[in-house]
Structure 1
Amino acid sequence: MRPTPSIKDFTPEEDLLGFFGPDSISWRIHSDPAFSVGGIRALLLQALHPVAMDGVHQFSVAFETEPWARLTRTAEYVATLTFGTRRDALRQVRRVRGLHRGKSAVEETTGRHFNVDDADLLLWVHNCEVDSLLSTARRAGVPLTDAEADRYVEEQVVAAVLVGCEEADVPRTEAALAAYFDGIRAQLAVTPAARTASRFIVVPPMPNWVQLLTPARPAWATLASLGAATLPQWARRLYGLPGFGLTDAAATAALRAFRQTTLAIPSRVRESPIVRAARERVADAEPLVA
């Protein structure tokens, strides 16, 4: 596994712009309201790999004891990698790689001995994320040409390599990403750990006061339903949710309606602090990088 780059490898201007920058497709997709649905879809898809899911089940105690904290950290990692400075992104990458290091186990259903940071497991997680965020964005109505979709997959190679994937194995086009899933589908299954994880994702535990005094439960139910409904048909069949109450056309229509409704909210409210800070930082840096 290649070492994490050092901030010394980049110029101050590159550090300010981050690994992607405001002209990237990654900024466009990751700042869109559809991102939240794509993230849930990615978690449900990732759970279908027995070995990768076993790593989460055995070593991520917080997944069941502090689920919201874990989800928040995951979202913060992706946001920082996308919108943060390179210094901030590398700090997050080192933290994640440190959490993975030295953890190994045997997955019961396959008998495979694995390390949490095995390159093929990291690649699975990466590809599920890229496929989910891209496909959800396109179905939601984010304006993307085929060339821009390929450019997004290409841009995300950086994220894969930073976390520890072998660069030569990472898909660089939408077609290569689809071919990866065609090749791995025979290895996928809904294990008991995946079933538990999927239940948590769709209906997460919430304190009573949160359910009674906030709109968190219905809001999450909307996101989770859309995340499940936008899974590929083969994944829904594995879960035993072939339609999840919606046809593909209806799921797409609901996703587009969700996006349009959310876009009506002012960006200063809708966008996360990390995204807003990135826009301000880049605007301040324009005279330096022009």
Structure 2
Amino acid sequence: MTDLVSPLRARLQQTFNGQATGTPQWMIDLEKGDDEGFFEPGSAVWAVHGAKATIAAGVRALLVQALHPGALAGVHDHSRFKEDPLGRLAGTIRWIYTVTYGSRDAATQASNWVSRLHTKVVGQYDDRHGVSHGYAANDPELLSWVHMAFADSFLAAFHRWGGREVPGGPDAYVREWAVAGELMGVPNPPLTVAEMQHQLMDFDRRGVLERTSRTDDVVRFIRRPPLFPVLRAGYPLLFNGAVATLQPRFQELLDLRPPHVGPVELPTAGPAAAVLRGVGAVMGPRPPAEKHALTRLERLGWASV
């Protein structure tokens, strides 16, 4: 059985961590530091980010981000997402897990590193009316959009596939993860689900969000990314599940809807859950980053209240 699982585990590790075997050094480094970090065991952030639902959440977040032409232009013009999509994914996971599980110093340094990379991400794009706009990845509005796209997606995926309630409720997650937004320079990140939804939809009300040929190109790529062959069978189920959790307005803007036969919508939650359970069976129920964070906490004498 081990011989059958090992190749799949290697491909999954390569996809998520950037290396097929062993533990990445940045993950081992989560054991370092002299403080508990911004989040602790039992927090809403540990619960949400430790669930396998984050895999579907990542797909959903990319779709949501693609609705903002400035965010899309930055990815299109400055990212090697088509040439090295797994490298970009591994980098994003590294930041999320470092902020989630690392010491405060590690989380701050990781965020500052990303912000420095963002200083080079500047340019212009034309909206659907042909009007030219400047963009910068560190622009407060873009930072806010990306932050909320992640938070909204992680919360929606956990609600669908997390298997339990968020500790303290959904507002607790939004409030806690606002710290990550502040580390990245987001001005006044939302502190409640209602506030987050209002701010997200306000982008649409102001006419910022749009679908262009570039949007369609990115959506096609997200629908069929160049995954390892062994992972391709399950991915469409995750994609369909992610689409089904999108707000109806976002589905409309992206011209996406869950699979259907005529007017009958086909199930998406169950098939995606089966894929996530399969990943959990191969990779373990909790992320390895959590184990290294617990090693640091134990060294510091941390104990839950």
**Residue 198 of structure 2: aligned partner:** 179
Question: Post-superposition shift, 1:248?
Answer: 7.6
Please give the secondary structure, in 2, of the residue aligned with 1:106: strand
Whether 1:252 and 2:273 are equivalent positions in the alignment is no
Q: 1:74 aligned to 92, 107, 119, which one?
A: 92
Alpha-carbon distance in structure 1 between the residues aligned to 2:167 and 2:38: 22
Alpha carbons 2:43, 2:167 under 8 Å: kept: no
After the TM superposition, which residues 76-155 of structure 1 pair with which residues of structure 2 at under 5 Å, given as runs? 76-109=94-127, 110-144=131-165, 147-155=168-176
**Larger relative helix fraction:** 1
Structure 1 residues 227, 188: CA separation in 2 closer, same or farther (over 3 Å shift)?
same
Kindly provide the CA deviation profile for residues 13-53 of structure 1, in whole angstroms up to 9, marking residues without a partner as x: 99432111112100000000111111110111111111111
- Contact 1:130 1:156 (8 Å CA) reproduced: yes
Shift of 1:231: 1.7
What is residue 3 of structure 1 aligned with on the other side? none
Percent identical residues: 29
1:112 is displaced (CA, Å) by 1.2
Kindly tell me: are residues 103 and 240 of structure 1, through their superposed partners in 2, closer, same or farther at Cα, counting changes over 3 Å?
Answer: closer
For residue 75 of structure 2, the aligned residue among 56, 65, 76 is 56
AA matched with 1:70 = R
CA contact (8 A) 1:20 1:83 kept: yes
Q: 2:49 aligns with which of 30, 42, 48?
A: 30
Confirm or deny: 8 A CA contact 2:234 2:275 kept in the other structure: no
The residue matched to 2:123 in structure 1 has which SS? strand
CA displacement at 1:173 relative to structure 2: 0.4
Unaligned runs of 5+ in 2: 1-31
Give the superposition deviation at 1:251.
2.9
Q: Which residue of 1 aligns with 2:83?
A: 65
* Residue identity opposite 1:42 in structure 2: A
Counterpart for residue 5 of structure 1? none
Task: Say whether the 8 Å CA contact 1:202–1:224 is kept in structure 2.
Answer: yes
When structure 1 is superposed on structure 2, of 252-261 and 149-158 the one drifting more is: 252-261
Instruction: Give yes or no for contact 1:230–1:251 (8 Å, CA) kept in 2.
Output: no
The alpha-carbon deviation at position 245 of structure 1 amounts to 3.7
**RMSD of aligned alpha carbons:** 2.6
Q: Is the 8 A contact 2:101 2:293 kept in 1?
A: yes
Normalising by structure 1, we get a TM-score of: 0.82
Give the structure-2-normalised TM-score: 0.78
The separation in 1 between residues aligned to 2:107 and 2:91, in whole angstroms, is 13
Which residue in 1 is equivalent to 2:257? 242
Displacement, 1:275? 2.1
